[in-house]
Amino acid sequence: MQLIKTKCFPVLYYGLEACPSRRPTSQFSTLNFVINSTFRKVFDTRSQDVVDVCLEMFYCVSAEQTVAMRKTNFLKRVNNSN
């Protein structure tokens, strides 16, 4: 899971902090679907309850929270560069 969190998930989130979408709720639901599907494949389950527990155990937050954190960090870096 550490490999997926460090190598795969950043590719999903690439550029979202700098380029907002017109339909953010649709975008976040799509990203959450991809994350949930990844956990379903890795743990070979169809149960959303199992996926939710695994997300908590591996400290994976929702796409909306991740993009918000990345956006905050991006804006801090932009502000400090001036």
Residue 61 pLDDT = 92
Token output for 59: 């400290």
- State pLDDT tens for residues 38-81: 999 999 999 999 999 999 999 999 999 999 999 999 999 999 98
The strand ranges marked E within the chain are: none
CA distance 44 to 65: 26
Domain ranges in the chain are 2-12+25-81
So what's the pLDDT on residue 69? 92
- Computed on alpha carbons and rounded to an integer, the radius of gyration of the chain in Å comes to 14
Q: Looking at the predicted structure, is the pLDDT value of residue 19 above 90?
A: no
Q: Which residues of 15-38 are buried (b: 16+ CB within 10 A; e: fewer)?
A: ebbeeeeeeeeebbeebeeebbeb
For the chain, first and last CA: distance in Å? 37
